[in-house]
């Protein structure tokens, strides 16, 4: 299983990182998995599974907003 960080996802879709985050927040793109959380409850490290992005490219929308 390959995990991609935010910059790699943005490069994959030729857009900026803010665009990726906006699309995730609006439910257009699959959300990342959280690898760990900081002490204040915010995510410290997010990664996208490559197979989720492949399904997204194929038009499969299995995630929940």
Q: What is the CATH number of the domain that holds 7?
A: 1.10.10
pLDDT more than 70, % of the chain: 97
Q: Cite the DSSP H helix spans in the chain.
A: 6-12, 17-25, 50-57
- The number of folded domains in the chain is 1
Residue with tokens 């991609």: 4
Edge to edge, the sheet with strand 3-4 lists 3-4, 43-49, 33-37
Is the pLDDT score of 54 beyond 90? yes
The domain of 49 spans: 3-57
Does residue 47 fall inside a structural domain? yes
Q: What is the pTM assigned to this prediction?
A: 0.84
Would you say residue 65 lies in a domain?
no
């Amino acid at each position: 299983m390959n995990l991609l960080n935010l910059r790699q996802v943005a490069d994959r879709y030729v857009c900026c990182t803010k665009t990726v985050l906006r699309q995730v927040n609006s439910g257009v793109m699959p959300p990342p998995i959280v690898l760990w959380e900081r002490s204040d409850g915010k995510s410290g490290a997010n990664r996208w599974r490559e197979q989720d992005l492949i399904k997204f490219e194929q038009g499969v929308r299995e995630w929940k907003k």
